[in-house]
Amino acid sequence: MNSEGRLKNAREQLIIALDLPRADAAIDLARILAGDVSFFKIGLQLYTAAGPEIVRAIAATGARIFLDLKLHDIPNTVAKAVTAAAELKVAMLTIHLSGGSRMVEAAVAAAPPELLLLGVTVLTSSDEATLLETGINRPVAEQALRLAQLGAHAGIRGLVASPHEVVALRQALPAGMSIVTPGVRPSWAAADDQKRFTTPREAIQNGADYLVIGRPVTAHADPREAVRVIVSEVAGS
């Protein structure tokens, strides 16, 4: 593949997290990056502040939407939330695999084929001490794999996992499983609250399909330049 093709692939693998407190700031940033980014993530903070209208506003820039709400409730409630998200025409939606197989199966049954439902394994802000606080006495990697296998058995087609677990997940799970990795930080960016992270290039080499990057872009003095540097790094150019 030539350099232009690698850059195109890298742009399509990049998801910019619009983890901002106000709709106007998120829309302004999405418009600035619209020519360089094809995917935006709307998380709990922004969705709580601005509601479904923010999904429609960001989608109006021409980008695809990853709605990161990490649903975790009784099966019927989660299924109805999946249906509501699908009506917004989002491309991706997250649920917590720790909700158990019945919840995951209900969510999968409610999701139309065009919606990629992503099961969250272990948050990248968590470590063994975090798991132990909640009564889970096993390594993070082992817990992530256990939840990923639960999700695969329940019909999930995509996962959210730390880039550190991607290699093991690829080896243990069915081919075709999409893996989205948060916890990605360019070498020049601060770690912030992430405990398990890699560079964008390392995450792709480990087998990630998509990279979620927020503050290294959203807090940068020149967000477009930050995206271009990251895309170049992922493409290896």
Residue type, 203: A
Domains, the chain, in order of start with CATH, read 3-235 (3.20.20.70)
Please state, rounded to an integer, the average pLDDT across all residues of the chain.
90
Question: What pLDDT does residue 9 have?
Answer: 79
Confidence of residue 194 (pLDDT cuts 50, 70, 90): very low
Question: What pLDDT does residue 30 have?
Answer: 96
Mean pLDDT of 206-234: 91
Which tokens go with 66? 């990853």
Question: What pLDDT does residue 196 have?
Answer: 47
Mean pLDDT of 78-95: 98
The residues annotated as belonging to the active site are 70
Instruction: Write the secondary structure of the chain as one string of H (helix), E (strand) and C (coil).
Output: CCHHHHHHHHHHHEEEECCCCCHHHHHHHHHHHCCCCCEEEEEHHHHHHHCHHHHHHHHCCCCEEEEEEEECCCHHHHHHHHHHHHHCCCCEEEEEHHHCHHHHHHHHHHCCCCCEEEEECCCCCCCHHHHHHCCCCCCHHHHHHHHHHHHHHCCCCEEECCHHHHHHHHHHCCCCCEEEECCECCCCCCCCCCCCCECHHHHHHHCCCEEEECHHHHCCCCHHHHHHHHHHHHHCC
Q: CA Rg, the chain, in Å?
A: 17
pLDDT at residue 18 greater than cutoff 70: yes
